[in-house]
Chain A
């Protein structure tokens, strides 16, 4: 029974995934096709060519091919994992994305875990001491950071820790003149600290606010009143009745934040010149590198989908109530 349901679940998700990626691919392709970007000009970058050579290039890029044919070719190539060649890197798009994504993944994973743990802890402390100065401080911090542009937060962090205190290098994935494969672990790590710190500072606000509000609601419920009347108090009460109830939705919420995490990474990578997917997307967009940009859009859609899938799975795997009903079947 259990296995069957799991298979059904994954089958359903797989079909959804395929449809979604197809629609995203077609949608983003049409948007780019409607844009005034001319592939020949983007390729040439104002280099002077004769009319005949331009004609050859136009044929090569298929500027006169109808949109439906173009979309069809694009989808067929996509199924073969061929995303084309990047115009700014002059290399297959898929290689570039894989290379940049690993750098981004490290950054996003660290800040995702940090923001989740710290945010949850802050939320619990604030919710338990509702109305105290600590609660007010957490609330003010969350409101302020949610209204602040994340790139500006990154600039402040950069100014304080790299420029004023001088603890960390100002940017770039590896020191200038060193190949990324030759860089030592410490050189990598020292450049990772500030972007990860920024993303965590920004990312912990929603989870902290959510945890705080939920905990306050749980603590004002009837069963907590009953537990109090039995003599439970302090941290034990919060641990046994509060955290057990809030942890699961908080984890789910954190998984659902993959989209914002990616968006934050785009901005933060730009501020810290961190060589990740986000910075590459901006570079590709600014210099009309259509294949690379579309590739990153599809990559980000997969990323967000995985986040949503994990959120669904977390319910399935962690929630004791669902597990129990499985065994009873």
Chain B
């Protein structure tokens, strides 16, 4: 009783007393909230007002990211661009996760299929990523579909499923294939899907921005981050640094947040680290 009261007296900010699991969940929820709010507000930003009176203004309290050559508020443009990037990144990540799971299952089928999958991995690894994405996006005729497919079809990583030790053990114990599939492989795949999608996100978003910056991705009238940065290239020599600095910085923060969420979710879902 006495000890309890003592701890009540010294009660600190609750995160100090919480265990690692709670802390991890809090971190995930907070980061996810930031990203969701960016996505939702990005969705609702349409038709940013232009006013040529306020063109090319330095960052100020009114326009915290400054304004561009048409007097549009760069903060709104950045948020809209990030929302778009998150959406493209999400679809691309889902596609590549599906591919990696299909290939992973295929490679566990038999030896020949395994060799084929290894060949495909070699082929995709032999061309620099960016050229491969450009190639695929050209194949789909560019535009939104081109970017989504280009990023989605090139970012998968095949994970071994069959060779986990406990699956062999279960086979040796005489469990039926269905039992193994339901009890071992299914949970493994579910956690792999979740972690895979989240960890794919940062790469997908970065490559989407890069491809759009080069001019292959989203069309110039979309408010994508790549488009904003490509546009700001024309104003670099005029010294309008805020046009490039803030959008890129925001992209960096979003990518870091996704990395953060991915690592923490993996910690929770991975049975080896979840109990720490």
**A interface with B by C-beta (< 8 Å):** 20, 23-24, 27-28, 31-32, 34-37, 143-144, 147-152, 155-156, 158-159, 162-164, 170, 259-260, 262-263, 266-267, 270-271, 281-282, 285-286, 293, 296-297, 300-301, 303-305
Contact = CB atoms under 8 A, between A and B. Distances in A.
A143 B244 contact: no
The B interface, classified by DSSP as helix, strand, loop or mixed, is: helix
B126 A304 contact: yes
B139 A31 contact: yes
Nearest to B208: A149
B130 A267 contact: yes
Nearest to B136: A31
Nearest to B205: A149
Contact of A267 (B125, B136, B138, B213): B213
B129 A263 contact: yes
A159 B239 CA distance: 7
B141 A35 contact: yes
Given A31-B135, A147-B255, A259 B123 contact: no
B127 A297 contact: yes
Contacts of B134: 281-282, 285
Interface of B: 119, 122-123, 125-131, 134-136, 138-141, 202, 206, 209-210, 213-216, 229, 232-233, 236-237, 239, 241, 244-245, 248, 251-252, 255-256, 259
Given A23-B123, A144-B252, A149 B128 contact: no
B131 A281 contact: yes
Contacts of B122: 20
Contact of B245 (A24, A36, A156, A163): A156
A164 B113 CA distance: 57
A152 B254 CA distance: 15
B99 to A, nearest CB: 16
Nearest to B140: A35
A260 B241 CA distance: 27
Contacts of A151: 210, 213, 229
Given A159-B244, A163-B237, 5 more contacts: A36-B141, A144-B256, A163-B239, A164-B241, A170-B236
B138 to A, nearest CB: 5
Given A23-B123, A267-B214, A147 B259 contact: yes
Contact of B215 (A149, A158, A282, A297): A282
The A interface, classified by DSSP as helix, strand, loop or mixed, is: helix
Contacts of B255: 147-148
A267 to B, nearest CB: 6
Given A159-B244, A259-B129, A147 B202 contact: yes
B139 A35 contact: yes
Most chain B CB inside 10 Å of its own CB: which residue of A155, A262, A286, A305 = A155
Contacts of A37: 138
Contacts of B241: 159, 163-164
A297 B135 contact: yes
Nearest to B123: A23
Contact of B248 (A36, A149, A162, A260): A149
B123 A286 contact: no
Given A151-B210, A156-B245, A271-B233, A304 B128 contact: yes
Contact of A266 (B126, B128, B215, B229): B128
A159 B246 CA distance: 13
Contact of B252 (A34, A148, A262, A296): A148
Contacts of B139: 31-32, 34-35
Contact of B237 (A36, A156, A170): A170
A155 to B, nearest CB: 5
Contacts of A286: 214-216
B126 A305 contact: yes
A27 B206 CA distance: 25
A149 B136 contact: no
Given A147-B202, A266-B131, A266-B214, A155 B256 contact: no
A304 B215 contact: no
A293 B130 CA distance: 13
B131 A296 contact: yes
Nearest to B253: A147
A23 B236 CA distance: 42
A155 B244 CA distance: 8
B123 A149 contact: no
Nearest to B247: A152
